[in-house]
Chain A
Amino acid sequence: MEFFKVPCPGKGNVNLDGVFQGPNFQNGALHVFQCNRGDHDIEMTCLVGKNCKESMQNKVVKDTDPILPMEVPFSCLSE
């Protein structure tokens, strides 16, 4: 199993290969997501009033661990 999180100054929803995985923040902290090893399209949709600078990133998620998960950063810009 592989682990990643999606740091972003704003809050948003995370999609993996087109499937909704939940919000990037949960209980006030960055949520650590799980996925299988390999190439994935990681997408973040910023909450109302913001736009994501990067719409989607294709990342190879491998050799991660739950203590220091891979970071896939996004930035939300005002509309």
Chain B
Amino acid sequence: MSIRIKSISIVFWFLVAAGCAHYPVNPELDTVNLDDGYRYHVVRREHDPEKPFVILAFSGGGTRAAAFSFGLLQELDRIFYTVDGQARALLDDVEIISSVSGGSFTAAYYALFRDRFFKEFPEKMLYQNIEKDLILSLFNPYNWGRLAAPDFSRIDLAAEYYHKKIFQEQTFGDLLKRPRGSVPFMLLNATDISIAHRFEFTQDQFDLLCSDLNRVSIARGVAASSDFPVAFTPLTLKNYGMTNCGTLPGWIKNGLSDKQDNGRRKIDAKAAASYREKQRPYCHLLDGGLSDNLGLRGPYNAITTTDAAWSLVTQENLGRIKQLMVIAANAKTSKQHKWDETAKPPGITDVLGVVTGGPMDDVSLDSVEMMREHFENMTQLAQTVRSCNSLLETCPGQSTVPVPISSSFSFTELAFDYVKEPCIRRYLQELPTSFNLDRTAIRALSIAAAQLLNQSEAFLNGMKKLDPGWTPRTVVFPQDLKNKICTPQ
């Protein structure tokens, strides 16, 4: 009898859980208000052109990426430069952090808890075995019922865990309670899989869905950004775009009708306009790495177009930028494979690794090259105008032409390939993509970021423009760490 009651009770609670479980629905927005919500100009003050405009991009790569970007922030916290006799912290000049997947944990925690970030983040996230916790949650009978529900899935379970255990139940609205200008504007990047397009957790993006981001948890943004295919199910958002909450930004109409050979702009415009189509009452998101594993595409769009909601071209037109610094923490690995030593083809796991990781790496390489080329082109254009002016100055009565490109640019990519010590480089390149790394790896990643930043010629050049007297510090791997990493087991 007792067993029967227990069985009925289990079935009852299973059904209750299955019936009640639903992912937290993103709320509707009545009317678009450009002066409210999680937007660049609401979060940040008008930029002072005397300070550099610093953008950080954090790549994907699980805890490896989170620790590497943590190391970058930690090093930036140590960097001061002097202007007119006053010391300034470079970390205070960070305007934007654009992140993907593992890097989104660091970006979000920093944006939420800047004052205690360096003390708390390692314990709260980096040293945690998140993988184990997520797997264990699947063995909880209460979750079996919930996961059987049509509107609740593994990614919602992960988002719940992040919400409670890491991000302390904070929402995007909570980010707006911080003093304006006190923390960088954060772009958590995911991928809208129906249109294979980048999706960012900003109110500008949510305006397209006529949804209010303020009441969405930070954890759902991070979960979408790190929603690795197959391991998790796609994260669902409700799209209210057909409710006519406001007109679309002006560039979209022009992008759609653009008759120029302008593929990217047209694709972006089509993607933005698609949220207002009746046949899209929902959208489904996966890992941001599927469309951009470096987090650089959003900044690139802002740096090269007036179409972005936080366009830096517009900022430059307004005379608000003189120096732009972009620093990308790229935690990409490059494993040495032995597949070609035998005739036997690689197994299914290896092939899946190539299928999921190969295109991501290729897109990341493109992003890095596009950013570099753009900066080189702009620097060359500015130099051409200056050369033209120096010729004009030799002609009596001729006036010079204005130099519209007032910014100087520097792009720094931190990647394991640039680590000089071979055994450390190989160690970092072989680290797995997981949410469970040991403390040795976390420490090595953090020191590597500091070392790479200080050794970067691009970063040094950028800093010299700010403060000609600035010198990088020498960062070395401590011997005890080297012993652990470099001694064959």
Give Cα distance in the complex from A69 to B381, angstroms. Answer: 13
User: Is A3 interfacial (CB 8 A cutoff)?
Assistant: yes
Q: How large is the interface on A (under 10, 10 to 19, 20 to 34, 35 or more residues)?
A: 20 to 34
User: Is B257 interfacial (CB 8 A cutoff)?
Assistant: yes
User: Is B74 interfacial (CB 8 A cutoff)?
Assistant: no
CB < 8 Å neighbour of B381 from A1, A35, A39: A1
Report yes or no: B306 in contact with A36, Cβ–Cβ below 8 A. Answer: yes
Q: Which residue of B lies closest to A15 (CB)?
A: B250
Report yes or no: B319 in contact with A26, Cβ–Cβ below 8 A. Answer: yes
User: What chain B residues lie within 8 Å of A66 (beta carbons)?
Assistant: 381-382, 384-385, 401, 403-405
User: Is B251 interfacial (CB 8 A cutoff)?
Assistant: yes
Report yes or no: A67 in contact with B388, Cβ–Cβ below 8 A. Answer: yes
Query: Closest CB-CB distance, B127 to chain A, in whole Å?
Result: 44
Report yes or no: B401 in contact with A37, Cβ–Cβ below 8 A. Answer: no
Q: How large is the interface on B (under 10, 10 to 19, 20 to 34, 35 or more residues)?
A: 20 to 34
Give Cα distance in the complex from A78 to B251, angstroms. Answer: 31
User: Secondary structure at chain A's binding surface: helix, strand, loop or mixed?
Assistant: strand
Report yes or no: B250 in contact with A18, Cβ–Cβ below 8 A. Answer: yes
User: What chain A residues lie within 8 Å of B265 (beta carbons)?
Assistant: 36-38
* Given known A21-B314, A38-B262, contact A32–B250 (CB-CB < 8 A): no
Report yes or no: B306 in contact with A16, Cβ–Cβ below 8 A. Answer: yes
Report yes or no: A41 in contact with B250, Cβ–Cβ below 8 A. Answer: yes
CB < 8 Å neighbour of A38 from B255, B378, B381, B403: B255
CB < 8 Å neighbour of A19 from B311, B316, B388: B311
Query: Closest CB-CB distance, B121 to chain A, in whole Å?
Result: 36
Report yes or no: B304 in contact with A1, Cβ–Cβ below 8 A. Answer: yes
Give Cα distance in the complex from A34 to B382, angstroms. Answer: 12
User: What chain A residues lie within 8 Å of B385 (beta carbons)?
Assistant: 66-67
Give Cα distance in the complex from A30 to B317, angstroms. Answer: 12
Report yes or no: B318 in contact with A58, Cβ–Cβ below 8 A. Answer: no
Query: Closest CB-CB distance, B390 to chain A, in whole Å?
Result: 13
Report yes or no: A36 in contact with B305, Cβ–Cβ below 8 A. Answer: yes
Query: Closest CB-CB distance, B202 to chain A, in whole Å?
Result: 16
User: Is A50 interfacial (CB 8 A cutoff)?
Assistant: no
- Bits for A1-39, please: 1 = Cβ < 8 Å to B, else 0: 101000000000000111111100010011111111111
Give Cα distance in the complex from A26 to B259, angstroms. Answer: 32
User: Is A60 interfacial (CB 8 A cutoff)?
Assistant: yes
Question: Can you list 25 A-B contacts with CB-CB less than 8 angstroms, sorted by A residue number?
Answer: A16-B306, A16-B314, A17-B306, A18-B250, A19-B250, A20-B318, A21-B318, A29-B402, A30-B402, A31-B317, A33-B317, A34-B316, A35-B313, A37-B262, A37-B265, A38-B260, A38-B262, A39-B257, A58-B254, A60-B259, A66-B384, A66-B385, A66-B404, A67-B384, A67-B385
